[in-house]
Amino acid sequence: MTPTPGTPPYDRIAVIGAGAWGTALASAARQAGRHVTQWGRDARIIDAIRTTARNPAYLPDIPLAPGIQATTNLATCLTGAQAVLLVTPSHSLREICAALSPHLPPGVPLILCAKGIERDTGLLLSDVVMAELSGHPTGALSGPTFAHEVARGFPTAVTIAFPFTTQDRLTPGATPAARLAVSLGSTALRPYITDDLVGVEVGGAVKNVVAIACGMMTGAGFAENTRAALITRGLGEMTALAAALGGRAGTIMGLSGVGDLTLTCSSQTSRNMSLGVQLGQGIARADCFDGRPVVAEGEVNAASVTTLAARADVPMPICQAVNAILHQQADLKATFTEMWNRPLRSEGASLGISLVNPGAAPGRDRSEPQS
């Protein structure tokens, strides 16, 4: 395929959020040659980013690309911005959108860099943004990314998703997705482009819940067979939900689906897997992470994903099990034993087989629909 010539980058990028991922993206954008402004609430962190090119709270040992203009003032951060990266937790997104509204330049594209589904409404995060900030093209950046590796400039690939109109397909180089790709692309960061925003968002939300499940089983003393099974069947749950909402299976087989799922479920660098490991070891939630208030998106997503799945009539037993343990006081080992002893079935829906599981407890109702 011949590269599309003349795609103009966004020269001025605003990053909303000064946690590890927001800072890593700000550094990557600056490394790619962009003028970068970054907003955060914590004045100590913001001062350090601006004056020392370090984030002492989240990436203390990693030098950032110099020249990031960090500020605690939203209006200052957004002045002249040509693209805005939203890097705040899913539970605070609606609040942030309301705060951004008076200061956004007209028509500037908004790129979601957090992953999740809004808990109270079951809305995809792009739906939240479009409801609060209409008139702005809205997309997402996702993929298998640990913030500290991106900040160090390790080779990383991501997916950038925006819906494409008919005109976008005729002039793809002028789309927000293409322009953002050339804005962030560098010798280290390789962006890919898709028009399947739904698939990318579903992948990002579900993978966090499956990572908690993998962590729980690891912490409970199980090993690689169990984790591989959870990853594979979790991928099936992710694919089914994406398809029910209009996403594509091919997207789930890409960076924002299987790529991100594999990474997040394979390392305790992931806060979601780490949380699961601690819970599987019997550590009370309040004592996890040594009592520090660490945000694991999958904890919120467990509830929002299962709510959305129920609304879409998609069985998701792994996500349902995690939700029951986190939010309904279900016993961890008993819940996973129950999940494992569901009726036996065919892999894939084409055969429609459901068999009594010899491992199921006597007297258990084995007739319910299964995924």
Catalytic residues: 207
Whether the per-residue pLDDT at 370 is higher than 70: the answer is no
pLDDT of residue 362: 58
pLDDT of residue 368: 39
Domains and CATH numbers, the chain: 12-195 (3.40.50.720), 199-340 (1.10.1040.10)
What share of the chain has pLDDT > 90, as a percent?
87
**Which is it for the CA torsion 165, 189, 56, 115, positive or negative?**
positive
Mean pLDDT calculated for residue range 220-237: 96
Sequence letter at residue 205: A
Whether the per-residue pLDDT at 369 is higher than 60: the answer is no
Mean of pLDDT over the chain: 93
Q: Extract the runs of DSSP E, i.e. beta strands, from the chain.
A: 12-16, 35-39, 69-71, 83-86, 110-112, 138-142, 156-161, 189-194, 344-345, 354-355
For 47-80, how does the pLDDT look when each residue is reduced to its tens digit (9 = 90+)? 999 999 999 999 999 999 999 999 999 999 999 9
| Rounded Cα distance, 156 and 31, in Å | 14
| Rounded Cα distance, 216 and 288, in Å | 13
pLDDT of residue 361: 63
Whether the per-residue pLDDT at 367 is higher than 60: the answer is no
For 153-177, how does the pLDDT look when each residue is reduced to its tens digit (9 = 90+)? 999 999 999 999 999 999 999 999 9
Instruction: Choose the weakest-confidence range: 54-58, 164-168, 261-265, 346-350.
Output: 346-350
CA end-to-end span of the chain? 39
Mean pLDDT calculated for residue range 326-349: 92
| Rounded Cα distance, 109 and 90, in Å | 18
Mean pLDDT calculated for residue range 87-105: 94
